[in-house]
């Protein structure tokens, strides 16, 4: 599975090339990371370009050398971060042999990525419910890429005989994404700090017992 071709299949290449030109500059990354912190802390609509500039340690005018406005920062973040995280998803999937192990690796990596960057998790899981119109294309793209990857794993598993063939793949992929999202949302809103990644194995076992022909 080639990660570059995977992204090109979903019409990302032209946008990716434009963003990559800016991404070579360190300040571009600095501003994006600062924006995520501000958006997570303040909420997107309550955040200002001035606050992002202060967090990044740059002048307000510097922001506009790289982004049109606050909305543009958000769009760039979703595209850049989605590509970065999804490449790591693909690496984990490719490192496994069987379909069920691929699914385990994918879910573990998903939870790990969000645990390692709580601000990103807040923006993805909480913020998108409030700003979906601004980043609608990026959110749809993220969801489609993830669900298509799960579909591919499930379909191969059905061919292998490790996943039941009578299951409707479209339902399975939505069930998995929805369950993982809910686990992350619960973690974000919990008053108790606990290891999100520790939820991966119980979650995977739930999937396996529900869709596998046998528990491996």
Sign of CA dihedral 173, 117, 122, 17: negative
**Distance, CA of 69 to CA of 60 (rounded, Å):** 11
CATH at 156: 1.10.357.10
Residue 82: give the domain boundaries: 70-211
In a domain, 64, yes or no: no
Range 4-7 contact pairs with CB under 8 angstroms and sequence separation of 24 or more:
6/86, 6/90, 6/145, 7/83, 7/86, 7/145
Closest CA relative to residue 109, chosen from 155, 150, 75, 80? 150
In a domain, 165, yes or no: yes
In a domain, 93, yes or no: yes
Q: Dihedral of the CA atoms 113, 115, 120, 121 (nearest 10)? A: 110
Token output for 162 = 């490790």
Express each pLDDT in 64-93 by its tens digit: 999 999 989 998 988 888 888 999 999 999
Range in 39-43, 140-144, 181-185 with the lowest mean pLDDT: 140-144
In a domain, 30, yes or no: no
Express each pLDDT in 149-183 by its tens digit: 999 999 999 998 888 888 889 998 998 988 999 99
Q: How many domains does the chain have?
A: 1
**Distance, CA of 207 to CA of 10 (rounded, Å):** 27
In a domain, 111, yes or no: yes
Q: Tokens 């300040």 label which residue?
A: 27
In a domain, 112, yes or no: yes
Is the model's pTM score more than 0.95? no
Closest CA relative to residue 98, chosen from 167, 172, 154? 154
Distance of CA 27 to the CA centre of its chain: 23
In a domain, 3, yes or no: no
In a domain, 84, yes or no: yes
- Asked whether the predicted pLDDT for residue 62 surpasses 90, the reply is yes
Q: Which residues pair with 212 in a beta bridge?
A: 163
């Amino acid at each position: 599975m080639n990660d570059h071709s995977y992204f090109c299949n979903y019409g990302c290449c032209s946008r990716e090339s434009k963003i990559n030109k800016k991404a070579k500059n360190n300040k571009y990354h600095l501003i994006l990371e600062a924006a995520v912190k501000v958006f997570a802390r303040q909420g997107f609509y309550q955040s200002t370009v001035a606050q992002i500039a202060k967090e990044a340690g740059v002048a307000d005018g510097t922001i506009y050398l790289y982004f049109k406005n606050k909305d543009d920062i958000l769009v760039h973040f979703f595209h850049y971060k989605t590509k970065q995280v999804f490449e790591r998803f693909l690496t984990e999937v490719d490192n496994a042999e069987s379909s069920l192990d691929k699914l385990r690796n994918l879910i573990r990596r998903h939870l790990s990525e969000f645990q390692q960057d709580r601000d990103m998790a807040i923006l993805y899981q909480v913020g998108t419910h409030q700003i979906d119109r601004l980043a609608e294309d990026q959110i749809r793209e993220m969801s489609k890429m993830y669900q298509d990857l799960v579909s591919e794993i499930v379909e191969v598993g059905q061919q292998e005989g490790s996943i039941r063939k009578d299951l409707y793949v479209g339902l399975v992929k939505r069930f998995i994404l929805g369950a993982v999202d809910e686990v992350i949302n619960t973690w974000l809103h919990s008053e108790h700090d606990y290891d999100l990644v520790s939820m991966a194995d119980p979650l995977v076992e739930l999937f396996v017992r529900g869709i596998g022909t046998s528990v491996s």
